[in-house]
Chains A and B, each alone.
Chain A
Amino acid sequence: MLPAVVIAALMVSLPALAQGPDRPLAALSCGGCHGVGSAGQGPIAPLAGRPKAELVAAMTAFRRDERPGTIMGRIARGYTDAEIDAIAADLAARR
């Protein structure tokens, strides 16, 4: 077992490793409906771990009203291509 002072030292050295969320905060808003971690919630589709290209294509189609939906069209039109790309990349990297 490590002595307490060593544990404290471990904690001290952690900031260098954990500078915060290395991900777009906007991606976390999806979880408000798509479940914690966007892992899906009941009838709402899981997003985490799906291919990035699929997520980008879906958002693009929602934005153009080319994919039926209730609220996703209204949401997709609020984000730029670059933001959608970053959000999709983040979600694709989650499991």
Chain B
Amino acid sequence: MITRRTLGLGAAALIAAPAISRAQAPLRLLVIGGGFGGASAARFARDSYPDVQVTLIEPRTRFVTCPYGNLVLAGTKQLDAITFGYDAVRARGVTVIHDLASGIDPVAKSVRLAGGQALGYDRLILSPGIALRWGAIEGYDEAAAGLLPHAWVPGDGGQTALLRRQLEAMEDGGVVGIAIPPNPFRCPPGPYERISMIASYLKKAKPRSKILALDAKEAFSKQGLFQDAWNALYPGMIEWVPGNRDGKIVKVDARERVLETEFGEKHRVAVANVIPPQSAARIAIDAGLANASGWVEVDPVTFEAKAAPGIHVIGDANTAPPMPKSGFIANSTSRQAVASAIALARGAAPPADASYFNTCYSHVGDEYGISVVGIFRPGPAGFVETPNSGGVSPRGNLPDQRRLEAIYADAWYKSITDYMFGA
């Protein structure tokens, strides 16, 4: 309770002892990255800790979501329907700075901005997303992406729009090549939803066309469900080549649109979507937070980077198997990370009995959706999936289930984007 007496004491302390007032100043929570992890973290912090000062650093003024990008490729959604601004985030009381965080000094607790400014913090939530590993596939660099789009890091939406234009311009009967990376990568079911959504467009607009999916892996998320749907909806249209049948792409010729496999097979295609191998975003690697494989190992309760306690790393930049790199996991884990950060800053214990929740929906066709659910908890050595729970949609001819999951997928998208960017 606020009494006149505590007020007086507080005022007196502020006037008499600036050093003490600094110690009692609002806790500064700095969030790097305005995507699913960072925007969710900012909202949760703002809603739950009115006394904490929340600052969000995000270079872009408009955020294009990865989820539902494949529906833009299908032509059933427009880019502006998956693009969001930060007005509502700001209106909620978050200080939003549109600049690039270029470096972290964990000792001084300060973040350097590309614009020259340095921002101090008490606790840092780092949700920077991924970097594409240019050159991991020989010949696939930023220039090549202008010819063979990845459309995997949306940026301003240009990559998604480019791939859509190429699909629209392709002649009927053309082959669309899709190169799919090894694990781990952002959104495990994403490439297969993309195959499905491109197929749904081709079936309507260019029915003689084919999709050649060249995969570095031998198995993938919701594989049985996807392949059942491909056989039912797009028979003969999709060829999926796993890594152990020479599906791994090691080289591209961007001008000739040639995808070359590990054993030298050269696939010349009409349109090529190359999803390259990935790592945590550059700032995480530059700050020395990532392991040798390029991802940030984190504490399963607090999400503090093992390499730098005090920096809580959420979203696709961390490695938290068996949890997937998904928007929902970024959202779900953001709350535990923020609550832990603030508790630790105040000398309290992080919330106990943490659980993390994920539902990944994939659109496979018109009114045809499938899902995988996972409930995870901190374990003695990382994260543990809760036994006898979660899992994928049932297989079989279940039109009502598929139709409802497609509708529920839309509701998920609306709910989670409202939470991050809505009023």
Using a CB–CB cutoff of 8 Å, the interface residues on chain A facing chain B are 5-6, 8-15, 17-21, 25-26, 28-29, 31-36, 41-44, 70-71, 74-79, 83
Contacts and interface: CB of A to CB of B under 8 A. Distances in A.
B285 interface: no
A36 B375 contact: no
B389 A74 contact: yes
A12 B21 contact: yes
Contacts of A13: 2, 6-7, 10
Q: At the interface, is chain A mostly helix, strand, loop or mixed?
A: helix
A36 B419 contact: yes
B11 A21 contact: no
Interface stretch (B114-122, B216-224, B244-252, B338-346): B338-346
B404 A70 contact: yes
B411 A83 contact: no
Nearest to B392: A74
| Most chain A beta-carbon neighbours within 10 Å: one of B26, B27, B355, B371 | B355
A12 B14 contact: yes
B415 A71 contact: no
A75 B49 contact: no
A44 B10 contact: no
Contacts of B7: 6, 9-10, 13
Given A18-B51, A70-B401, A79-B375, A5 B14 contact: yes
B227 interface: no
Interface residues of B, number: 60
B84 interface: no
Interface stretch (B134-142, B175-183, B328-336): B328-336
B65 to A, nearest CB: 14
Q: Which 6 A-B pairs have the closest CB atoms?
A: A78-B375, A9-B10, A78-B389, A29-B357, A77-B389, A14-B51
A9 to B, nearest CB: 3
B190 to A, nearest CB: 18
A3 B283 CA distance: 42
B201 interface: no
Contacts of B375: 75, 78-79
Contact of B414 (A17, A42, A74, A83): A42
A28 B47 CA distance: 12
| Most chain B beta-carbon neighbours within 10 Å: one of A6, A25, A36, A42 | A25
B334 to A, nearest CB: 10
Given A9-B10, A15-B346, A74-B390, A33 B357 contact: no
A78 B415 contact: no
B351 A25 contact: yes
12 contacts: A5-B11, A11-B51, A12-B24, A25-B339, A25-B351, A26-B357, A32-B412, A32-B419, A36-B415, A42-B410, A77-B389, A79-B375
B293 interface: no
Contact of B418 (A17, A35, A83): A35
A71 B371 contact: yes
